[in-house]
Amino acid sequence: MSGGDFLELAAPGIDRLQPYVPGKPIEELERELGLAETLKLASNENPLGPSPLGLAAAREAIAGVHLYPDDNGFRLKGKLAGRLGVAPEQIILGAGSSDVIDMVARTFLAPGRNAVFSRYAFAMYPIYTTAAGAECREAPCLPPDHPRMPFGHDLEAMAAQVDDDTRVVFIANPNNPTGTWLKRDELHRFLSGLPGHLVVVLDEAYTEYVEAPEFPDGIQWLKEFPNLIVTRTFSKIYGLAGLRVGYGVASPELISTIGRVRHPFNVSVPALAAAEVALDDAGFLERSRRTNREGLAQLASAFDGMGLAHIPSVGNFVTFELPVDAAPVYDALLRKGVIVRPVANYGMPRHLRVTVGTREENDRFLQALREVLA
Ligand X SMILES: *Cc1c(COP(=O)(O)O)cnc(C)c1O
The residue ranges that bind ligand X (CB under 6 A) are 44, 96-98, 122, 172, 176, 203, 205, 233, 235, 241, 246
Are 203 and 98 in contact by the 8 Å Cβ rule? The answer is: no
Query: Which of 202, 368 has the CB closer to ligand X?
Result: 202
Shortest distance (Å) from residue 294 CB to ligand X? 21
Query: Which of 92, 302 has the CB closer to ligand X?
Result: 92
Shortest distance (Å) from residue 259 CB to ligand X? 18
Shortest distance (Å) from residue 335 CB to ligand X? 27
Opening angle at CA 320, ends 22 and 138, nearest 5: 60
d(CA 91, CA 192): 23
d(CA 108, CA 170): 13
Query: Which of 204, 361 has the CB closer to ligand X?
Result: 204
d(CA 229, CA 191): 12
Query: Which of 209, 320 has the CB closer to ligand X?
Result: 209
Shortest distance (Å) from residue 235 CB to ligand X? 3
Sign of the CA dihedral with 36 first, then 41, 42, and 43 last: positive
Integer-rounded Cα Rg, in Å, for the chain is 21
Query: Which of 255, 368 has the CB closer to ligand X?
Result: 255
Are 14 and 127 in contact by the 8 Å Cβ rule? The answer is: no
Shortest distance (Å) from residue 367 CB to ligand X? 27
How far CA 58 is from CA of 138, 152, 252, 300, 336, in Å, comes to 40, 37, 29, 36, 34
**Sheet strands (E) in the chain:** 39-40, 91-94, 114-118, 135-139, 166-172, 199-203, 228-233, 246-249, 317-321, 338-339, 341-342, 351-355
Query: Which of 42, 277 has the CB closer to ligand X?
Result: 42
Shortest distance (Å) from residue 121 CB to ligand X? 8
